[in-house]
Structure formats: structure tokens, C-alpha cells
A and B are shown apart, each in its own frame.
Chain A
């Protein structure tokens, strides 16, 4: 079996209460998302804020209960009532954007790292757990002597290393990285990116990497899904996506990435960037979600949502322009 995760028609709706007498509205955070995560691969999700990429990442781990859909981990349905949720938590981990707020400020690093091990019964006694922790801290580039210090004593980059170590002590097979490098300084970002890359080989990890930084995703990921208003509008192997993007939103997204190259930046055509903003997920537009901003919009887009079509092998696009050909 090649796929670690199979995600089928995943939808997440949130109920928004607007007040005592008003009827609750539903917010469509994730809508019919399907993709596979191959074992030992890195899948990236990219999109604007509000596109549902974080919700997708959390719903896959059942940190947010999906409203609809099937989630298969190693072929087993993790939504099934008999599935051992504790085992799911142990083998599948998540790293958040802000490391300082994901560590308890009143607990020492040792306590923060030991707690998940105690909960999941890793290591027989304190001595053995300490050894695992020491070893893991070294593999993320920290020294063991920090164990009795508190989170506020560390810089952002060190804290993110600690958070990574906390997931690794459980020997997970899958980690969701939710904007895990976005809050770090430039000179630290590349250190952490390299660390993710090294750990993948060392620990046989599979990642779901959520980011708005497309250049980082291009460097790290094997496959990338582009999300817009809760839907995956395009999903393709990384090389193919960059060489041959099909969806108008992907094209627009790729065209606005700033590159450290002044001549190239000046040569970029201005006026190509997207107009307007992402619509509200409470009242998504009928038809294609992107139709309100799409430069190629035609009548059909405004009434009928495009089906996901396989453009060529492994490359899926949801756009009427592609479906027509």
C-alpha cells in the first residue's frame, strides 16, 4: 500500500451564531476535499487566509471533527467509532505556527516533552524517557542541558525546535506542519527547513506542509494542492504544477511571488495581479468559488461549480476552462 492517508470528500462546516433570535448560519470552511498522501512524501497545501488549509490539516487529525467525508489511514477509516483515537494521536502529530503559544509557559521543557510520553506509555521509567528526550533534542540541534528551563528563555527558532522535538519523542509517522516556519526570522527559517528535511530521512516521516510561502513549498514538497475558499482547485506533483499550472488562480498566485531579483521583478507585468479579495465562506458564490475574481470568467462559471477533472496523470484541476477542452 502506497498511500498513508486517503482523504475523500472531506467537508467541514462551522455553525455561526449571530445572536439570540437570529438563525445560525453555516460557514463552509472545507468543501469536498479529496487527495492522497503517499508514504514518506511531503504534500503541501497553499492558499490565502480563509482558504481552509489549516482546517483541512486539523480535520485530517480529527482535531476538528469533519462534517462529512472519509479519512483512511493505512486503509482504515479513522472516522469509524471503533478506531483507537489515542493511537491516532500518537502516530500523527501537528506543529503550529507560533511555538511560544504552543508550549505551556509554566512547565519546563522536560515536563512539556515528557507529558506526551507518559500519556502514550513511551519509555518504562523516567530515566529511560529522559534518555529519549536527550537524544531527540540533539537530533533537532539542541543541547540536553536546556531541560529544566522555561519557554520564555528561548528564541523563536529554538522554541520551534523544541516543538518539533516534542512531536518526535512519540516516534510519529505523520506530521502536519501548519505554517511552522512563518513566524521565524529569515536567517532561522532556512535552518528549520533544513531540519525538516533531515528529520524526514532520519525518522521516516510523512509531512503535510501548510504554508502561504510557495517557494518554501516548492523546495520541500513532492505534491502541492492549491486551495481556494475551502476547495482544492488544483493538485499536482510539484514540478508539474510549476511548469504547467492550469487553474487561473494558481497562475495568479505563482505570478505574484516576489523573487530576490530586481531586474526580474521590474520586468514583471504590472496589472496582472488578482483584483478583489477572497469571498466570505458564509455566503460562497454560486458556481465556481473563484468566479468573482477570475479574469477568464464566463457565464457557466457563475451558475455551475466545476467538477474536478484529471488534466493528465496525477494532475487534477477544477475549472470549466479545462473541462471544456
Chain B
């Protein structure tokens, strides 16, 4: 689809007032913690921008990330698709299928060479030539390399695309890897989470559209606006943590009182995401508010982190067995040392003494 009309003109044609447009820009700017002046710049940038061609590739995934974005409440997915972006290829949402769908992808790549954004959902299997996941006979690896070649930027949506996620979890039978391992130096944003917060996806896309560049990212390539603080730092149960009030199980008095879930395995202190502030389903709730600890799903290797219900301070690995072995070894060494000392003493006492002694 060729998108020659600017978004501003398109909005005007559809009867969207400048006020409504500014309101939207202000909302996205505040979501990303941008200064107030950035809202006007964002609106201006969006008005001048063409509808952005987006190619959404789905690889080793569960479609949870797509499910998530369909629940974006502001802007809604409909707003995003019809007003701001041209979603040229998305297997779940597009009407076309089979060869027609693939033709749409190739057409979008040809028409928007160097300008389109590739959104990737899911990790990519690399073992045995990447045969473990293919679409129409084309392996994910091949499709990614082909599509990314002339892209402006890549957005890895979800923990599988960002860090390998569940497919990469031990023992990783398909040799799954994160998108960052396969795209060389292409500009990349990781929007991790299982699934990621929809506002983080649409907010980041809106930012690229408005300013023509990637937002500020953390060391894991995630937008700092959404991944700048831990769940724990923004959690409404934090005061209970500070007071030493914890739920010991999911059905005790502490749990009913809404106390901190740290003892039942909450990974909030080491998980960077915006769940505690943006929440889910239009700001209704988030896992901790619903009574379950954070799983740490937006962090790398969260599936192999030692168990969802294992408290953070507990050591990882088979500590008990190792310590039992260490105790036996220590006792044996102690007895051995004592035996040697006794033997030495006995020999010393039995030895003939010189006159100096």
C-alpha cells in the first residue's frame, strides 16, 4: 500500500480536529515521560508523517503479544491501524492468506524500501538450519533476514523476540535466539514482556513515527520510558515491604490484607516494566493487584530464574546437596588434621630428647 498523504491531511479529511490530535499526542508524550513541549513537537511530527508501513512477523510465539496489542486502549489498535500506520502484513489480523499475504509483504517491502518498520513477535529457531518453524516453506530465519534487509528499524515485541523467551528456555531444543542476535546493526527496540504492555508497543511506534528516530533505550534495548523503573519501586504494596509485612502464602491473612508478595516469590524488585503504573486492560489492574507476585516476564531468562514461587533471596541450584557434601568433607578434614596432630605429638614425645630439650 502506497501512503503518499500526510497524516495531518488524512486526519483533516476524516474530520479529526487539531484539538483531538494534540490530545492524543499529549497522551503519548506523557506516557513516555517526555517534557510538555515534546507533545506539540510530536503532534507536528505526526501531522507531517506519512502513514508508516509496518510488517509484523510472527515466529516462535503464542500470539499473546498480538492479543495484547488488540487491547491497547489509547490509542486503540483500530486508531493505530487506520490512522497512523499501514499494517501491511500481520498473519493474525490480515484478511489475505497464503500467497496473497506473502505478496502483500513483498509489495510493502518494495514500496517502502528503507522506510518500513519490521515488528517481530517470537524468537527464531536456528538449530538444523532453522527448520523448526517455517511459513509457507520459508524458515523464520530466512524470512527475517529477507524482510529486515531494507527496513528502517526493527521492533522486537515480547520477551521471546527480545530475549528468546520460553522457546529459548533450558534445554532450548530448537536453538531459539532473540532477534537482536540475527539482525546485525539494524536499529532495534526491544519491548519485552509476556506479553508486553500494549501502550508500550503503540507508544514506541508513535514515537518513531513522530520523531523519525528511536526513543531512549536502556542497556537491554528497551524504551526507558516504559522500562526505566522496577515494578517494586512503583508498587502500591511497597509500604508493606518496608514495614516488614508479608503474605506467607496466597490464602493467609497477610494475602487477604494485601501485604507484600515478596515471600511468595514476587520478582518485582528486579523487574523493569510499567505494569505498576500503566497497568492492564485500560488501567484496571496488574498481576500484583490481582494477588499474584510478579513473574519477572520482561527480563531475560525469566523462565529459568529458579521458579516463580521461589523468593528472590533464596540461592539458586542444589544448595542442600552441595552443603551436605561440604559438611562431610569438612568433618573428614578436621578429623584427619586432628589425627595427624596426635600422631605428631606421640612421635615427638616418644623421640629421645637432646640435652637442650
A binds B: no
